[in-house]
């Protein structure tokens, strides 16, 4: 009898070692000899072959095991599923295969009461996080449980995936979660200091990128935790000076992504990326002004190091925005067809920050024709050469050079002047005139 137990133990050890190293032929040989090994686990952690294959990214062996009708939600000692381990270790191919085989994304472990979404956010595997969210959006979870509820699911200590991503300095995961409907002002239970928001935890971790994302999506700098501390105080306590400067309530308010607006939620991906980039660049300009003269400085983003010259060069034939005369028109308003640059479009949407608690949100109107904005799309850029060909206007090149000379005559002008100085859009004239009555330099004097 003892000899039989020893033989079986040896076979189990050999199977688990082969699974870990990816030796497919050895695994097949063991299972042909003794099919019951499929259901055996390690002695202490109760890890099955499916757990080991998922954690080590052995996709071929994982496929072999799943083909033999192994339960994809088998549990180990801590009630962790293979999907949790694959998300923990960032094995995206295993995550996708388990999701395709119907792995349950709503299972909680017994360590911290966390799901696979918590694991992906905590360890910063944005591809795994996106795969899980995509499955949740298209599966029965969105119908029975609710997608927004799943995105904001709490672990045993009251932390959402956004809390974990912010605390662990995972800006990509923070962005994905916020874009999927994570609540930026949700408070924790016992995770960190009780009552902490994601902004408190990002301040504690000292992540400028996470703080920037949270502020851009409406995180409240004045919200207090259970100890009465605002994120600014938390950043000071942990000696994160640059973070504290941005979180100081006396500093300028950041621009906030106007997500409650209907036409913003219906943006196509390309237009959304343009507007999000404009918002983050505008907030970077704000950060530079806040940190100017302090011991802290922020590196300039690579895509905007040369300022407005990147968008409008001397060799460019693209049509300039008729509001700021600095950026190329990249956004088109539907149904009227008027075009603006992303910066001016964003300033229009963020001029009056929408309140999510308001029953009726009044959408902004087109600054040129005053019609309600139904949708924003990426503009089809029309060059001045095309306009010359269509209209036979030989003076267009002179007009273009004149606009550029006025645009760059002031060396101290910022490419975000339209965002900060733009007041009422009611004073903007027609698209063809390109004049703003509030700015005297654009008005012809008699």
Q: Give the CATH number for residue 348.
A: 3.30.40.10
Question: Tell me: the pLDDT tens digits for 166-198?
Answer: 999 999 999 999 999 999 999 998 888 899 999
**Residue finishing a domain among 113, 143, 173:** 143
pLDDT at 429: 36
Is 265 among the domain residues? no
Q: What is the mean pLDDT of the segment spanning 399-406? A: 42
- Evaluate whether residue 119 is within a structural domain: yes
In sequence order, the 6+-apart residues with CB closer than 8 A to the CB of 109 are 78, 79, 80, 84, 115
Which among 216-225, 253-262, 437-446 has the top mean pLDDT? 216-225
Q: Which single residue is written with the structure tokens 């504690």? A: 204
User: Which has the higher per-residue pLDDT, 427 or 162?
Assistant: 162
Terminal Cα distance for the chain, rounded = 110
Q: Averaged over 126-154, what is the pLDDT?
A: 93
Same domain membership, residue 220 and residue 159: yes
For residue 409, the enclosing domain spans 320-353+363-446
pLDDT at 309 exceeding the cut of 80 = no
State mean pLDDT over 26-33: 92
CATH number of the domain at 183, please: 1.25.40.20
Q: So what's the pLDDT on residue 398?
A: 42
Q: What confidence score (pLDDT) does residue 335 get?
A: 82
Query: Across 259-263, 290-294, 326-330, 381-385, which has the greatest mean pLDDT?
Result: 326-330
Q: Which residue has the higher pLDDT, 227 or 299?
A: 227
**Cα 367 to Cα 438: distance, rounded to the nearest angstrom:** 14
- 362 Cβ contact list (under 8 Å, min separation 6): none
Helix (H, G, I), strand (E, B) or coil at 339: strand
Q: Does residue 18 sit in the same domain as residue 46?
A: yes
Residues 127 and 158 in one domain: no
pLDDT band at 10 (very low <50, low <70, confident <90, very high): low
- Mean residue pLDDT of the chain comes to 79
Number of domains in the chain: 3
Q: Where are the alpha helices (DSSP H) in 1-124?
A: 2-21, 24-33, 49-55, 59-67, 82-88, 92-100, 116-122
């Amino acid at each position: 009898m003892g000899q039989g137990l020893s033989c079986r133990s040896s076979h189990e050890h050999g199977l688990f070692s082969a699974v870990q190293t990816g030796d497919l032929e050895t695994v097949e040989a063991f299972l042909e000899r003794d099919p019951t090994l499929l259901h055996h686990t390690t002695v202490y952690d109760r890890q099955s072959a499916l757990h080991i294959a998922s954690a080590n990214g052995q996709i071929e062996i994982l496929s072999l095991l799943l083909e033999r009708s192994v339960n994809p939600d088998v549990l180990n000692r801590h009630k962790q599923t293979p999907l949790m381990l694959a998300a923990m270790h960032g094995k995206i191919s295993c995550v996708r295969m388990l999701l395709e085989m119907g792995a349950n994304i709503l299972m909680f472990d017994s360590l911290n009461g966390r799901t696979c979404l918590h694991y992906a956010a905590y360890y910063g595997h944005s591809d795994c996080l996106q795969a899980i969210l995509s499955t949740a959006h298209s599966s029965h979870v969105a119908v029975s449980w609710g997608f927004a509820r799943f995105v904001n699911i709490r672990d045993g200590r009251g932390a959402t995936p956004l809390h974990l991503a912010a605390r662990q300095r995972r800006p990509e995961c923070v962005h994905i979660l916020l874009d999927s409907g994570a609540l930026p002002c949700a408070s924790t239970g016992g995770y960190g200091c009780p009552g902490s928001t994601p902004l408190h935890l990002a301040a504690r971790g000292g992540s400028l990128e996470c703080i920037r994302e949270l502020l851009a999506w409406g995180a409240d700098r004045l919200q207090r935790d259970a100890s009465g501390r605002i994120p600014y105080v938390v950043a000071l306590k942990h000696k994160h000076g640059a973070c504290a400067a941005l979180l100081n309530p006396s500093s300028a308010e950041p621009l906030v992504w106007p997500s409650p607006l209907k036409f913003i939620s219906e943006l196509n991906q390309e237009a959304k990326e343009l507007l999000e980039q404009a918002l983050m660049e505008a907030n970077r300009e704000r950060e530079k002004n806040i940190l100017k003269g302090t011991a802290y400085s922020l590196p300039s983003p690579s895509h905007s190091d040369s300022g407005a010259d990147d968008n409008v060069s001397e060799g460019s034939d693209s049509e300039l925005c008729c509001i700021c005369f600095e950026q190329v028109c990249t956004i088109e308003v539907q149904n009227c067809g008027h075009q603006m640059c992303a910066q001016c479009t964003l300033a229009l949407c963020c001029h009056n920050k929408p309140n999510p608690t308001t029953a009726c949100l009044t959408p902004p109107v087109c600054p040129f024709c005053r019609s309600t904005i139904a949708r924003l799309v990426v503009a089809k850029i029309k060059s001045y050469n095309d306009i010359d060909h269509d209209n036979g206007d030989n003076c267009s090149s002179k007009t273009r050079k004149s606009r550029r000379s006025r645009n760059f005559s002031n060396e101290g002008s910022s490419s975000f002047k339209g965002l900060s100085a733009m007041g009422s859009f009611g004073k903007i004239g027609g698209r063809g005139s390109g004049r703003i009555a509030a700015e005297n330099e654009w008005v012809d004097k008699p």
